[in-house]
Chain A
Amino acid sequence: MSGTGDLLKKGSAPGSLPSKPPAPRSGSANPFRALTGNLRESGIYIAFVVVVLLFAFLTDGLSLSPGNITNIVLQYSYVLVLAIGMVIVIVAGHIDLSVGSVVALTGAVSAQLVIGSSQPWWVGVLAALAVGLAIGAWQGFWVAFVGIPAFIVTLAGMLLFRGLTYYVLDNVSLSPFPGEYNGIATGFIPALMGGYGYDAFTLFIGAVAVAGYAVSQVRNRIARVRYQQSVESMPLFVLKLIAVAAVVMAFAWQLANSRGMPIVLIILAVLILTYSLVMKSSVFGRQVYAIGGNLAAAQLSGVNVRRVNFWIFVNMGFLAAVAGVIFSSRSNGAQPGAGNSFELDAIAAAFIGGAAVTGGVGKVTGAMIGGLLVGVISNGMQLLGVDQSLQQVIKGLVLLLAVAFDVYNKRRAGVR
């Protein structure tokens, strides 16, 4: 009881850890207030932009070159997929330490079938997904129905599934995969629309994404007006749409000038959209937040806590298998040591993206930005030729600073 931090804590009611700034999350007419009020949420975006610009400057624009952007997407896609599942696990107040091993095991099973037994590529994919779901159900059973803390269950899982990976692979690496399988993570959508030195189809997808975003924003705005909620002023709204459109199209343009639209990016986009929607407005998503926010209150409001916890882990197992397929495809084989410490990257992404250690707070989009932030930093350091050991140090510091920034923000907002 000596640091001010402790003392401050004593003053607040136990269990009352309000962690969002009180300023309206609905848009405010004043753009400055909208920004500062939402600092907890927008802070990470600002940090992201700053880091991107920083590396663009340090690498003389190399980091924003078409080839490199494609590279980042391909290289970090599996961490992002894991982070989607992880942020859900963390919001519910759990943790999953086993995902790295699950990535390895699902990849190994797939490789054993496709490479070892010459099965078609899709048999390998389906088998990997089935194994992921089964693992999720196994861990979900122990967490939800037996009541063992997820930390322990997944720590055991980490060892268990790593061991099984060695067993399945008989301690040796398997490679290479046939072309179709390899194409999942390294392939591109063929130039369906042709192009003139660039891929028109990629631009088309970009345009569709922009249009979709604009339509959903406009519809949301109309609904908010109808339900008499505050909306941001018209100029600001238009400005926001234009900014997003510009960024998306610039991104698509760079991709189009490289190798076109990576298949992985499509998979990732579908997953992010689906899971954002699920977490934001499905009953299931709400129940996850309710459980993480106050378990007892959720229970007494009729939430079937066990069932929700069970499905959270089944889902995590599924996404780990997706990541396993992508990773094995990208590395064109399966190694016993694959996926080592991926769980840490996924957890870091979720926390950098604003998830709360105490549960109840966190967003899929936040985790994605968190994951990309780590990706951009690692990639930038590689481009700059920074030493491997220093890279680790910097990643560690980024995690610490991101969370410290978050805590500072909360305190500044008078929430403590």
Chain B
Amino acid sequence: MTDNILEMRSITKTFPGVKALSGVSLSVRRGEVHAICGENGAGKSTLMKVLSGVYPHGTYEGDIVFDGQVSRFSGISDSERAGIAIIHQELALVPYLSITENLFLGNEVRGRTGLIDWHRANGEASKLLQRVGLDENPTTPIGQLGVGKQQLVEIAKALSKDVRLLILDEPTAALNDNDSEHLLGLLRQLRSEGMTSIMISHKLNEIEAISDAVTIIRDGQTIETLDMRADTVTEDRIIRGMVGRDLDSRFPERESHPGEEVFRIEDWTVGHPSQDRHVVDGANLSVRAGEVIGIAGLMGAGRTELAMSVFGRSYGRYLSGQLYMHGKPIVARSVRQAIKHGIAYATEDRKKYGLNLIDDIKRNISAAALGKLATGGFVNAHEEIRVAEDSKRSMNIKAPTVMAVTGKLSGGNQQKVVLSKWIYSDPEVLILDEPTRGIDVGAKYEIYTIINRLVAAGKAVIVISSELPELLGICDRVYTLSAGRITGELPVAEATQERLMSLMTKDKTPARAGAHTPSTDDDQEHSA
């Protein structure tokens, strides 16, 4: 008992119409890294919001015992005072403020006059940055840092508040391998200094690598807590706990019979929206009917930029290049034209670019193809509901009705709504940008199945992904992109992670103009 820093006892939390948690218990030992796993919508984030006072005492049932004391937090500031800090997946930093300003926001370092003492603040900021291993000037605006570094600033901010329990909700979901590795290293270091952390993640390899214990939540209930220090616990063991059965394979079987070429990109060159450099440089690729191709590349290689610029020039400045649909040249100057020609692009950032979060499922699904539901400019609302219910059934979207607001769905279900939207637009070629980001193993499998169904129907699919095993598992061919250039093309039979990696890092010299700073995908500006 005494070595448990945290006990959450039979926590129950209901939202109108949804029981998100029913009697969840969680014990965390002092000084460990405790992972929480579970499918999308299992209730992980909700549990952490209960713990950190986002949902204040009185809005849930059950007890929280932190450091031997029954705690009744009425808000985040309460839990922070007690020594608990939460880092949400959606970072809460102010982009135009400097690192220092963000670090001490609401907690400003004041001099004797009551005014802010910037010298001392910057000095302390430097110390904190050093502690999290971030080599940046504290006066740099946050907006200029990549997500990985912003994540570190969030942690530094938590450290400045003297926390003893650090909660991270999917901290690595949007990070590349290097940044993830750094973050995990930092967690190890903090553990050695005595910090306790709770980490939610869908990346099982990371959980295996770092955590001391893992608690599995399914359908709002605690299933089990596994001791990871015993080395009998494997990824498959965790998956069994999450989905309640063994998953034979991570990728559904598919027989590949590529047909005629559907879509081709030739000599595609795109300029950065505001700087004088090429983000995509003379890219060529093609995809055939019934084929899944992958695009592999490091952060900043220009994968999203390539896809978005093809999709009605939604990114950057078009410089040169030609698109072909079924062998005929096409021009797609706007998203509308691109959709008309049969191109669909499902974004990597579903909350920002994919969904109208305040609107319901059915209207999100019909958004890209309203014309199909309309006669004389008016939408047939009943037909729209029918369409949405069809999608809900075939995609297995978990929601009470298609009238449910998308903002309240869990990540996996939101992703399925985005996919439904583009499938309903009935494209010839579907570009999926990180389709499984932040999605649990079970839902991933379902999404792969959906991809297979599409190609079986003769569609062409292009998948952009940072997870090489995923590309190897579902694609027929994989292109590699490095610094805006296609550096290789491999049939999946000949591709290995190592070969892809070496192609992805090949030719890192800047493409023609200007110096290329190793940027991350999130520096990209979606000009529109």
Contacts and interface: CB of A to CB of B under 8 A. Distances in A.
Interface in B455-490: none
B44 interface: no
B15 A22 contact: yes
Interface in B64-111: 74-77, 88-90, 92, 105-106
Nearest to B414: A16
Given A11-B52, A283-B379, A286-B370, 10 more contacts: A7-B76, A13-B88, A15-B357, A24-B401, A224-B382, A283-B371, A301-B335, A302-B312, A302-B338, A356-B358
B351 A302 contact: no
B356 A298 contact: yes
Give the 6 A-B CB pairs with smallest separation, nearest first.
Answer: A11-B54, A1-B106, A293-B356, A18-B407, A301-B368, A16-B407
A4 interface: yes
Interface residues of B, number: 65
B77 A7 contact: yes
A341 B8 CA distance: 56
Nearest to B311: A300
A302 B88 CA distance: 31
B351 A16 contact: yes
Contacts of A17: 357-358, 407
A284 B377 contact: yes
Given A7-B75, A7-B76, A8-B75, A281 B379 contact: yes
A293 B17 contact: no
B60 to A, nearest CB: 11
B513 interface: no
26 contacts: A2-B106, A11-B52, A11-B55, A14-B90, A17-B357, A17-B358, A19-B358, A22-B404, A227-B382, A227-B383, A229-B385, A283-B374, A286-B367, A290-B367, A293-B358, A296-B528, A297-B352, A297-B353, A299-B314, A300-B314, A302-B312, A302-B334, A302-B335, A356-B358, A413-B16, A415-B408
A229 B53 CA distance: 38
Contacts of B403: 24-26
A293 B76 contact: no
B351 A15 contact: yes
Nearest to A291: B356
Chain A facing B: main interface SS: loop
Contacts of A297: 352-356, 367
Given A22-B404, A224-B382, A290-B367, A300 B353 contact: yes
A11 B56 CA distance: 11
Contact of B368 (A25, A282, A302): A302
- Chain A interface size range: 35 or more
A286 B364 CA distance: 10
A395 interface: no
Given A18-B405, A25-B403, A283-B379, A13 B367 contact: no
A300 B352 CA distance: 11
Give the most central of B74, B385, B400: most A CB within 10 Å: B385
Contacts of B354: 297, 300
Given A23-B17, A283-B379, A296 B352 contact: yes
A281 B356 contact: no
A20 interface: yes
Contacts of B88: 11, 13
Interface in A289-325: 289-290, 293-294, 296-304
B526 interface: yes
Contacts of A223: 382
Interface string A1-39: 110100110110111111111111110000000000000
Nearest to A289: B359
A147 to B, nearest CB: 11
Contacts of A13: 88-90, 351, 357, 407
Contacts of A194: none
Interface string B364-399: 000110110010011101110110010000000000
Give the most central of A19, A283, A289, A360: most B CB within 10 Å: A283
B77 A286 contact: no
B358 A361 contact: yes
Contacts of B336: 302, 304
B421 interface: yes
